[in-house]
Amino acid sequence: MIKTQDLTKIFQTDEIETSALNSVNFNVQKGEFVAIMGPSGCGKSTLLNIVGLLDNPTSGSYLFNGVDVSQMRESQRTKLRKGNIGFVFQSFNLIDELNVYENVEMPLIYLKMSASERKARVEAILERMKISHRRKHFPRQLSGGQQQRVAIARAVAANPGLILADEPTGNLDSKNGLEVMNLLTELNREGTTIVMVTHSMHDADFAHRIVNLFDGQIITEVKKQMGE
Amino acid sequence: MKNIFKSTFRNFVRKPATNLINLLGLAVSLAMVIILSVYSYSELTTDNYHKNGDRLYLYADMSGRMYMPAILKDQIDLNVPEVESAVRLAGSWEPPVFQAGDHDPITSDLVFADVDFFKLFTYEAVEGNLENALKEPMTVVLTQSLANKLFGKDHALGKTVKMNNDKELTVSAVINEPKANTSLKFSAITSNSTRKIVQANGDEFTDWGWCDFQTFILLKEGVKPDETAKKITALFPKNKDDQQDYSKLKLNPFKEVYFSQFSLFGSDYLHCGDKRKVMILILVAAMVLMIALINFINISSSQWVDKIRQTGVLKVIGARRSNILWNVLFEAFSLFIMSLTLAVILVGVAAPVIGNYTGIHFNQHLLYSPVFLLISLAGTFTLSVIFSLVPAFRISSSRAVDNLKKTVENRSSNSIFRGVLVSAQFIIAIVLIAFTVLVQKQVNFGSSNLGFNQDNIIGIKLTPQLSQKREVLKKLLEEKPIIEKISFTQYYPGKFFSHWGSNQVIDGEKKQFSFDTFNADASFFGMTGLQLTQGRFFSDDLTTDKNKMVVNETFVRDHKLKNPLGTKMVMGMEVDAGLSEIVGIVKDFHYKSFNQPIGSLVIQNKSYASYCLVGLNSIDFQSLHHSLEEIKKISDGLSPAFPVEISFLDQAVEKMYQSELQFRRTFSLFAGCAIVICCLGILAMSIFACQRRIKEIGIRKVNGARISEVIAMLNKDFVKWVIIAFVIATPIAWYAMHKWLENFAYKTELSWWIFAMAGFLALGIALLTVSWQSWKAATRNPVEALRYE
């Protein structure tokens, strides 16, 4: 599903050039659950953004479902991203002015889905995430765990094949964190590919494979035995 | 204190774009307010400077009869002791030509007045003594500028000027330039005893039937004007046939004369202004100020959020409430003061340019007078306090802990409040745009619906020398192939024509006639393209056509003529004046300004003319100007002693509408500024909106929103407010426009497209301005927006 070769990303400010990724070869198979670990500033988020088609690499190639996307224009990337990739962030990134229902509905609107179909989908997903009783509430009326469940609901609403999660439990207490991890695992079992960036070894244990990043390079890859 | 300065400066620099917008908008609007208020002040105080102004009156019916017989003054002097002095004033029929020694002749103007003129009206003498300046006949008082033109830098006193290449006048005094805000405009003034010599006119000074003068009255202290007016009116000899209405004759305070809508026949010395226009401009200034203040409120309230967080920190480290209040007020006040300074500089730089373009002139020294500075400082201070008091209290009274949290952010009531203000701005902008279009439409309507042809016609003003050599001039002009037709007439747009009143016996019935009249020859009709409704035009070939007349439709209607063709009337005051016959009726056309109703008109086939109209083959612009040069050469050669005025007829028509034109320019200039300030405002608003929604934009893009969808979302809010503004503005604009048009005798239609155009323009401007920011926000990489929380 994801195949990168010599992926390099250099950030340029006025005078300083910072190399965030350095010749990264990163592959993910369909149905995998991969955790990316490493210290702050090692390039985890940058890798995730490129994988999520939010950003272009400076050089190197990236095949997403067999299509080279490394040189695509933004509009093309947007088109490809829609319905294929869902995002979950550490800080939830819900829109404050929209209620729970509207937040989850948003990606479906951009997919030009009909209103009735949207309604059915959103209702079902809210039900599944156990927050349908909160559908009329606004993000700031919810607890952190509830907000992250809404964010996950939004990420999976369009039924994407890939979910990218950037420290999904970082702002949550352990109980809520565990709940989120269970949700992700469940989604993965149903066939959704998951790539997750995390600091927490505990969270990383849920993954099939752990990739360690340091200074923009992949240092180690640990593959766990299935069914362990 | 030092800290306040520092933080004010830093706050300004921190958000340069929006603060600069705030500053510029305020400065431009204050500049406009300064210009318009100084101009309005100067207009509204017209003629206020005469020492005896409180006792000074004009005896007239301002809505009609302005001309009085000369003998009235003699009777007032004898019979009305309440009057301290009466002075008759009259312009000259034709602008005189003055020549001093070998200098070039100069076309000027001339006012005839009685000896006491300088007792009634206050002027400063530069040379000579004003008290006796008009005592002797054949003396003249000049303004400084005319004296300089005639004599250069030499003293003018005691020297002579030749008038119309004939009689000589001695300069008895030179006066300072009259103030700009006066209804009396002249550059030379001479006595009525001189008039008897240089412009002898029948029994003008002895007969009650000759009405050529305006009579100004200086009352003694404590005298009631109404009673005195009745006494003066009683002096007119009673005549049974006289159907004139004497009841409207009054003593009108001189200070009010300027804003009375009187009309004189071509005399150029007494001018009137238009209070309505002054009021409209004051209103425009107020609206512009309002737009800028709304910008100020919008921008400063958008910065509350930032400021509240900032003051939260201050409070935590122990600042008192008053410190913070004072801080916010000081910041607002310093912004206003900077704007005012900028505005004064702007006015200094732009006033001459604006004056040239719009005809708005005012005394620039007023700008630097202490009174003005004091008033503007006080005004600025008041404005800044009023408009920053609410935010100041809100910021200073919020709790420190709340301030540090983000709970104050994104209150929907705030954004509705700002939306309402943006709507208010757009209401003003739409009304102004619609009004600008309407004023333009009315001016176009006026000059294009006059009812006669104005194109490719050149008018040569006949000087005395040209009048004598008329046939030679005609022959020389006819030799030029480019010249198609030549006509001699008394008519020229915007120039003097006669108004006659007489009693006639028609079909054995006595009737009072009153009409405008001028002479023209047969070719006048063909050249101007007047349309005949009955009868015929003159023919040059018939010697019998000498005493024929053509009248207009209004003449027939006003005088209720059943069989107009063939009607014979006595024309002229001369004893031997024969009967003239009406041979044709022309369709009504606007021989007077468009703002006046078309009057009764008689065109006489008499030879006396003051203009030679030259019709050219329709040709391109360049050869038009070439032929103008040639015509000028011919006429200058025939008139060495008198400068010849040559102009295009259409330009002369345009000149008739000078004040409309200037009003249009003034209005559109200031409306334009208002719209620019409005744009600056929404630009700032859109910058804030995008900043506020930066995270939302990022989230939406991550979730699949395309750039166009993001732009549409950001623009939607503004479009909504513009549409609301349009709905509210349309009836307001309609009402204002309707009211304005009521003042015109002939008015353009209030078409629906004016409103549509104003609405679309406003929407277009708003979209362009907002889209610029929306585009910037929508094309940002969402990763950046979401990276920092």
- Mean pLDDT throughout B414-426? 84
Contact (CB<8Å) B704/A111:
yes
**How close does chain A come to B784, measured CA to CA in Å?**
10
First and final C-alpha spacing in chain A: 24
For B786, the closest of A78, A81, A93 (CB atoms) is A93
Rg (CA), chain A: 18
Mean residue pLDDT of chain A comes to 89
- pLDDT grade for B116, boundaries at 50, 70 and 90: very high
Closest by CA to B782, choosing from B715, B692, B703, B711, is: B703
Distances (CA, A) of B425 to B30, B41, B330, B570, B681: 16, 27, 26, 64, 9
pLDDT at A170: 87
Distances (CA, A) of B197 to B111, B137, B194, B409, B465: 14, 9, 5, 86, 20
Chain B residues interacting with chain A (CB cutoff of 8 angstroms): 410, 412, 695-696, 698-707, 709, 779, 781-783, 786-787, 789
Report the relative pairing of strands B139-143 and B167-175 from DSSP bridges: parallel
Counting Cβ atoms within 10 Å, is residue A185 exposed (0-12), middle (13-18) or buried (19+)? Answer: middle
- Chain A CB contacts of B709 under 8 Å are 110
pLDDT at B789: 44
Distances (CA, A) of B581 to B561, B570, B578: 13, 9, 10
Residues in a beta bridge with B458 = B614, B648
Q: Which residue of B has its CA nearest to A46?
A: B783
**How close does chain A come to B783, measured CA to CA in Å?**
7
- pLDDT grade for B745, boundaries at 50, 70 and 90: confident
Counting Cβ atoms within 10 Å, is residue B542 exposed (0-12), middle (13-18) or buried (19+)? Answer: exposed
- Mean pLDDT throughout A87-103? 90
Q: What is the rounded CA–CA span in Å between residue B36 and residue B54?
A: 27
Please name the amino acid found at residue A11: F
pTM for this structure?
0.79
Contact (CB<8Å) B698/A110:
no
Q: What is the rounded CA–CA span in Å between residue B225 and residue B217?
A: 10
Q: How many CB atoms lie within 10 A of CB A95?
A: 19
B759-780: buried (b, 16+ CB within 10 Å) or exposed (e) per residue? bebbbebbbebbbebbbebbeb
Q: Which residue of B has its CA nearest to A80?
A: B704
Share of chain A above pLDDT 70, in %: 98
B299-337: buried (b, 16+ CB within 10 Å) or exposed (e) per residue? bbbbbbbebbebbbebbeeeeeeebbbebbbbbbbbbbe
Is residue A108 within 8 A of residue A118, CB to CB? The reply is: yes
- Dihedral over alpha carbons A147, A151, A154, A160 (to 10 degrees): -150
Tell whether the model's pLDDT for residue B750 goes beyond 50. yes
Can you tell me which residue has the tokens 């709790």? B399
Contact (CB<8Å) B706/A91:
no
Q: Is B670 helix (H, G, I), strand (E, B) or coil?
A: helix
- Chain B CB contacts of A89 under 8 Å are 786
pLDDT at B733: 92
Q: In the numeric block, which tokens belong to residue B766? A: 């708003």
Distances (CA, A) of A218 to A26, A69, A214, A215, B299: 8, 21, 6, 8, 49
Is residue A83 within 8 A of residue A158, CB to CB? The reply is: yes
pLDDT at B542: 63
- DSSP, residue by residue, B369-434: SHHHHHHHHHHHHHHHHHHHHHHHHHHHHS-HHHHHSSTTTT-HHHHHHHHHHHHHHHHHHHHHHH
- Chain B CB contacts of A107 under 8 Å are 703-704
- pLDDT tens-digit series, residues A8-66: 988 887 778 888 888 899 999 999 999 999 888 888 888 998 999 988 899 999 999 88
- Mean pLDDT throughout B308-332? 77
Q: In the numeric block, which tokens belong to residue B341? A: 């300074």
The alpha helices in B303-320, defined as continuous H runs, are 304-316
Can you tell me which residue has the tokens 């965030």? A20
Q: Which residue of B has its CA nearest to A45?
A: B787
- The rounded Cα B81 to chain-centroid distance in angstroms is 40
Contact (CB<8Å) B783/A106:
no
Please name the amino acid found at residue B540: D
- pLDDT tens-digit series, residues A108-130: 999 999 999 999 999 999 998 88
Report the relative pairing of strands B250-253 and B97-99 from DSSP bridges: unpaired
Phi/psi zone of residue B319: left (φ > 0), alpha (ψ -120 to 50 degrees), beta? beta
pLDDT at B43: 87
Residues 6+ apart with CB under 8 A from B30: B289, B292, B339, B340, B342, B343, B380
- Dihedral over alpha carbons B630, B632, B637, B642 (to 10 degrees): 180
For B696, the closest of A52, A82, A95 (CB atoms) is A95
Chain A residues interacting with chain B (CB cutoff of 8 angstroms): 45, 49, 52, 54-55, 74-75, 78, 81-83, 87, 89, 91, 93-97, 106-107, 110-111, 154, 158
Closest by CA to A180, choosing from A193, A167, A161, is: A167
pLDDT at B663: 84
Contact (CB<8Å) A97/B696:
yes
Tell whether the model's pLDDT for residue B121 goes beyond 60. yes
- Chain B CB contacts of A106 under 8 Å are 700, 703
Is residue B536 within 8 A of residue B565, CB to CB? The reply is: no
Closest by CA to B307, choosing from B15, B17, B22, is: B15
Closest by CA to A206, choosing from A171, A165, A148, is: A165
pLDDT at B679: 87
Contact (CB<8Å) B704/A81:
yes
For B699, the closest of A45, A55, A93 (CB atoms) is A93
**How close does chain A come to B378, measured CA to CA in Å?**
43
Distances (CA, A) of A158 to A196, B81, B422: 19, 102, 38
- Chain A CB contacts of B789 under 8 Å are 91
Q: Which of A61-70, B74-83, B332-341, B393-402 has the lowest mean pLDDT?
A: B393-402
Is residue A164 within 8 A of residue A90, CB to CB? The reply is: no
Q: Which of B64-68, B236-240, B297-301, B762-766 has the lowest mean pLDDT?
A: B236-240
Contact (CB<8Å) B695/A93:
yes
Contact (CB<8Å) A55/B781:
yes
Quote the crossing angle between the two packed helices B694-702 and B752-778, to the nearest 10°: 80
- Chain A CB contacts of B410 under 8 Å are 96-97
- DSSP, residue by residue, B438-488: HHHHHHHHHHH-SSS--TTEEEEE--HHHHHTHHHHHHHHHTSTTEEEEEE
pLDDT at B244: 66
- Chain A CB contacts of B787 under 8 Å are 45
pLDDT at B640: 86
pLDDT at B302: 77
Q: Which residue of B has its CA nearest to A89?
A: B786
Q: How many CB pairs under 8 A join A and B?
A: 51
For A110, the closest of B695, B704, B782 (CB atoms) is B704
- pLDDT tens-digit series, residues B208-222: 878 889 999 999 999
- pLDDT grade for A228, boundaries at 50, 70 and 90: very low
Q: Which residue of B has its CA nearest to A140?
A: B407
Distances (CA, A) of B381 to B289, B378, B723: 15, 5, 35
Contact (CB<8Å) A78/B704:
yes
For B706, the closest of A78, A87, A96 (CB atoms) is A78
- pLDDT tens-digit series, residues B3-50: 777 777 777 777 788 888 889 989 999 998 888 888 888 888 889 889
Report the relative pairing of strands A209-214 and A217-223 from DSSP bridges: antiparallel
pLDDT at A108: 92
Can you tell me which residue has the tokens 């005189």? B96
The alpha helices in B144-253, defined as continuous H runs, are 144-151, 192-198, 225-233
Report the relative pairing of strands B160-163 and B211-219 from DSSP bridges: unpaired
Q: Which residue of A has its CA nearest to B787?
A: A45
Contact (CB<8Å) B705/A110:
yes
pLDDT at A227: 47
- pLDDT tens-digit series, residues B655-671: 877 777 888 888 888 88
